[in-house]
Amino acid sequence: MFFALVCGIPCSDFFAQSISRVHIKSDQIEEGAVLALKRVAVRQCVGCGRRRPKNEMIRISKTKEGRIQVDPTGTGPGRGCYICYEEDCLMKSRKKGLIARALRAEIPDKFFDDVLANVKKRG
């Protein structure tokens, strides 16, 4: 779904939160120009509770067979939850059992170690 924003007219907070970041310098836009902006899927981190764009987070899912896995595409089937690419969020969710609660399953320690290694490698 696309939205149009006329330059110079402020948009509501709800609208501003639902569009992607646009990297355009103000001198590149003519007055009265119309820009097409896309909605961005926003998800909430299980560890810290912050809302971020879906592509900035890790999706962890539980398949129908009960297997816990990292979903790199973010579109796989099964029950899922999202976590930031930050070590603090992962450790907090591990300590308090937040991912296990969200997925309604037991999470093995080896899985957390693998995800933590991935987070450290990325960050």
What is the reported pLDDT for 8?
Answer: 46
* Contacts of residue 29, Cβ cutoff 8 Å, sequence gap at least 6: 7, 35
Inter-axis angle of helices 87-96 and 109-122, to 10 degrees? 170
Instruction: Report CA 61 to chain centroid distance, whole Å.
Output: 14
For 45-102, the pLDDT digits (tens) are 999 999 999 999 999 999 999 999 999 898 999 999 999 999 999 999 999 999 999 9
- Spell out the CATH class of 42-122: alpha beta
Could you give the maximum distance between any two Cα atoms of the chain, in Å? Answer: 56
What is the reported pLDDT for 23?
Answer: 53
Q: Which of 119, 110, 84, 78 is nearest to 98 (CA)?
A: 84
> What's the start-to-end Cα distance of the chain, in Å?
32
pTM reported for the whole predicted model: 0.69
Q: For the chain, what are the domain ranges?
A: 2-38, 42-122
Is 16 or 42 the better-scoring residue by pLDDT?
Answer: 42
